[in-house]
Structure 1
């Protein structure tokens, strides 16, 4: 059994009933993997950056459990950019890049395959000030990927394109933009342009499947036959 170990933040983490309908991309990818041979162990945690994730010791159990042939998905950026919080801020070209190299090195030492995934976009990314944009962290991740011969799945670019294609009226349904009086966990509603509803987790995970397949047979083998047939069909994203 191949295990995908996933380290990241709240956009990836597994959510339960107390935060429903918030859903992480890791949960979304469960729909597409070859469950006979592949399992996901989701270690992503709300609010964490590469810096705080490592300093809290959250990567240690992953290192202990990774085996040859496993995968390490590495997806951070939302919290690394928070300059106002020294516990989490990881400058793109220094601390962030160094931390990515640490994850990659640890995976390779254990015989696992690291995969870098750029952060999923915020729904309102075009309206955000420069300091809230991901560009420096995305660029740093791509540079680290090239320097270490590690695949980089550019989810930022594809998620931005999807949000643009869906438009201002439809795209918010992917995110935690909730009306009042509908969800018991959020009786007053919510206007959250970062975290995802189940549909968003599914859509963005679907984007990841296409990028995994493009990496070659060893990565495509993570996906179910049904997912491969869907990718071959050229049909729109599933709902």
Structure 2
């Protein structure tokens, strides 16, 4: 019998975290791998969706959907930045103004319901300069989120900095395995890459005290590739 659910981790984010379906395989969101690192009874409610920004996730009512199921002591992970860089006014934001104001709405909504919001800077894309050094690509968005976390007194997982350091350590060739080179896609993850980022998230939740030691497991192991499945898409996922 499955362990009773004692706590839920809700994810508001974009395609780098989202559930992927059969047509997209082997593309994998890190939210698909996060349950591997959580103890029985800690459930992931992944609402991340391809192409969404901090703005469009709100205007489409996706935060409202999360709030309908969030409970006191739950956790809301908020990771946006990739699509906030777009110039489309329905999607894009400015890092020091509208990005911060939209993110603040997630924080306020979670805290009003007794849940803990956690900000996650966006995972770094796989980019290297001519000297083979991993290059940042998110402009001021990570800085703006870091500053907001300090202003609001909420936990921050600096996934931008950690993944940038990870790609630097792996180098241009080895880091290919964590992305989708056959599609020339250096933003979205392979199963291996999604597992690496999910492990960073789990370790960060433990290190910041959001989760206790008994709420995580296997955080020094890689997610087995055979663990991943890509179900057929359903209408609600479009």
TM-score by length of 1: 0.85
Quote the residue 2:20 is aligned against: 15
Question: What SS does the corresponding residue of 2:85 show, helix, strand or coil?
Answer: coil
- Return 5+ residue gaps in structure 1 as ranges: 179-189, 231-235
Q: How many residues align?
A: 214
Are positions 1:65 and 2:58 aligned together?
no
Quote the residue 1:186 is aligned against: none
Equivalence map 1:131-170=2 (5 Å) = 133-170=137-174
Q: Do 1:5 and 1:62's aligned partners in 2 also have CA atoms closer than 8 Å?
A: yes
Q: What CA RMSD, in Å, does the superposition of the two structures yield over aligned residues? A: 1.7
Are positions 1:195 and 2:199 aligned together?
no
**d(CA) in 2 for partners of 1:150, 1:48:** 22
**d(CA) in 1 for partners of 2:196, 2:110:** 27
Judging changes above 3 Å, is the alpha-carbon distance between structure 1 residues 26 and 97 closer, same or farther for their aligned structure 2 residues?
same
**d(CA) in 2 for partners of 1:169, 1:217:** 35
Equivalence map 1:59-208=2 (5 Å) = 59-83=63-87, 85-124=88-127, 126=129, 133-178=137-182, 190-208=183-201
Question: What SS does the corresponding residue of 2:22 show, helix, strand or coil?
Answer: coil
Equivalence map 1:27-38=2 (5 Å) = 27-34=32-39, 36-38=40-42
Q: Do 1:125 and 1:133's aligned partners in 2 also have CA atoms closer than 8 Å?
A: no
Q: Do 1:4 and 1:38's aligned partners in 2 also have CA atoms closer than 8 Å?
A: yes
- Return 5+ residue gaps in structure 2 as ranges: 1-5, 131-135, 225-238
**d(CA) in 2 for partners of 1:41, 1:107:** 14
Question: Which has the larger share of strand?
Answer: 1
Bigger Cα displacement from structure 2, 206-215 vs 73-82 = 206-215
Q: Do 2:179 and 2:185's aligned partners in 1 also have CA atoms closer than 8 Å?
A: yes
Structure 1: which 4+ aligned runs deviate by more than 3 Å?
217-222, 236-239
How far apart are residue 125 of structure 1 and its match? Answer: 5.5
TM-score by length of 2: 0.85
How far apart are residue 198 of structure 1 and its match? Answer: 0.3
